Homo-oligomer: A and B are copies of this chain.
């Protein structure tokens, strides 16, 4: 077979497979891995901030500002991974994620709103104001996990 035609054919095949993958047919297992990845990274960057909110970690305004910026991006990433197609994939997501979608969406919006406020106040805000916003942000994590995630 002509090598060039073969290459083009292969590229088209890969392209077709890729298009399907990209838009509607991402495997449920992949969606779960991606949403869990977003949660892992939210944990990474929230960890020290949660410690600061509780006074267990020394306050560091630079770390708060940097991590808040990361969390602003990360807090938008998990949600499309909770597609209906993932309902039967083993994970810590409770059935309410798929049955009480309005409330789940509200919880996502609340997190994003609190994280946005954190980003704003972390840019030079007074320590007390930043800490208050850390507490408010932490509550949205806990509130959502309470209803939508298996007890860990």
A36 to B70, CA, bound (A): 16
Asked if A22 and B48 make an inter-chain contact with CB atoms under 8 angstroms apart, the answer reads: yes
The binding surface of chain A is classed by DSSP as helix
Asked if B22 and A57 make an inter-chain contact with CB atoms under 8 angstroms apart, the answer reads: yes
A138 to chain B, nearest CB (A): 13
A38 to B45, CA, bound (A): 12
A77 to B73, CA, bound (A): 12
A72 to chain B, nearest CB (A): 8
6 contacts between A and B (CB under 8 A): A11-B54, A14-B56, A18-B48, A19-B56, A33-B40, A73-B74
The chain A residues found within 8 Å of chain B, CB to CB, are 11, 14-15, 18-19, 21-23, 33-34, 36-38, 40-41, 44, 47-48, 51, 54-58, 60, 63, 69-70, 73-74, 76-77
